[in-house]
Structure 1
């Protein structure tokens, strides 16, 4: 586990390659990044620059092809699939652009899933409380298909926070929502982040949304092109 004075994310010369019909493609070409515990970091950059790939590495959903990556004090490159699944369950919450809710489960069941996997006897009580926190205490028994887009993303936010993760990763969380609904969801997400002291890494194409994070990093062509901790980050 990382201590309060250690970065929750420590990436050194990360590379990530994928195979394709035309051969190997370099997605990340040597990314080094440190993020302090409790920090809110916005990641911006053009489509295809490597933003989402970096998030997938931070979540332990993909393995880097080079470099080192420690998240919450754990060396992700040294972990097998079982250890990575445990790491995600215990340390990471994720909110995607697509809501990724299980359509055959109610809102309550969707939020309880990570707690059930962790063996928590109070999974449903905690899930109900998390849904109340996002304003959906009256929707516990509704299925995703019975909820609006904004409500579905609120369920996804509740699921991401329910296990009190050290790190929250959000990839274009308002991308499928209209502006007003998106703003409401982000107010909720930032409010919960502050309440829980959670580290946030937010990927977005919206400069105004990125600007809500005290620090911004711009990725271009698989490399960090700018870091507002060092120099300003240009808008999209």
Structure 2
């Protein structure tokens, strides 16, 4: 595979617990191609979210290597990781992580301003409109439903046009119709911006939409399944 967007080699994560060290990830080797969608599935405690955090540099591997866009995340300090994420990654969490004292527009525009984008508010408006919140962009998070807050989080993640989009249980706090809408938007962002999408999910229908589904158990890759490539499926 030439120049994978994400590449993990024997990546390990060990954290200190009350009873001593706990092995969370036990040697993950994995490559993800540009533009692919990958679903991480498995029982609770299998290491799905921890693996996603390693890919985003939000957790530091305690062994092996993690590379993104041919950059070694394991060699970066926290400031370097933050700058790298800001320029190359969008992250969507289950719990939204919106700033309550900022409007939807400000929540999306502020990271762009911090990155030095002169068109921060124009781009934020465009992304909020794209996720159906054109009429709600001046509302605060407390004035928005859960589904609307997740749409703001999606717009914030997509606004910088990231090469990599990471989502941790993006539909976990939403009801069926809102969850379906967020699923459609996630894959729409992938298609519209050409981003590589990696998501953690317990929802079989969401995982089934991915090009690859990686099943984890006890901190290791148990199996992997691949869908029919989109080009072939269209024939």
Q: Same fold (TM over 0.5)?
A: yes
- Tell me which of 87, 101, 108 is aligned to 2:84: 87
Partner of 1:145: 142
Contact 2:52 2:199 in 1 (8 A): no
Runs of 4+ in 1 over 6 A off after TM superposition: none
CA shift, 1:162, in A, is 0.1
Q: Check if 1:212 corresponds to 2:209.
A: yes
Matched, 1:196 2:193: yes
Q: Tell me which of 11, 15, 25 is aligned to 1:14.
A: 11
1:227 maps onto 2:231 in alignment: no
Are 1:57 and 2:54 matched, yes or no?
yes
RMSD: 1.2
- 1:172 and 2:169 matched: yes
CA distance in 1, matches of 2:123, 2:206: 29
Once residues 104 and 56 of structure 1 are traced to their aligned partners in structure 2, the CA distance between those partners, rounded to angstroms, is 27
Q: Where does residue 94 of structure 2 map in the other structure?
A: 97
Q: Which structure 1 residue ranges, 5 or more long, are not aligned?
A: 231-236
Partner of 1:46: 43
Q: Deviations over 1:19-60 (max 9, x none)?
A: 111000000000000000100011100000100001111111
Q: Does 1:184 align with 2:187?
A: no
Select which of 96, 108, 117 maps to 1:120.
117
Measure, in 2, the Cα distance between the counterparts of 1:229 and 1:97. Answer: 25
TM-score (norm 2): 0.94
Secondary structure in 2 matching 1:7:
coil
Aligned length: 227
Residue of structure 2 aligned with 1:131, choices 113, 124, 128: 128
Map of 1:233 onto structure 2: none
* CA–CA distance in structure 2, aligned partners of residues 192 and 120 of structure 1: 20
Measure the CA separation in 1 of the matches of 2:107 and 2:198: 23
What's the counterpart of residue 234 of structure 1? none
Structure 2: 5+ residue runs without aligned partners? Answer: 228-235
CA distance in 1, matches of 2:25, 2:128: 37
Cα offset, 1:177, TM superposition = 0.3
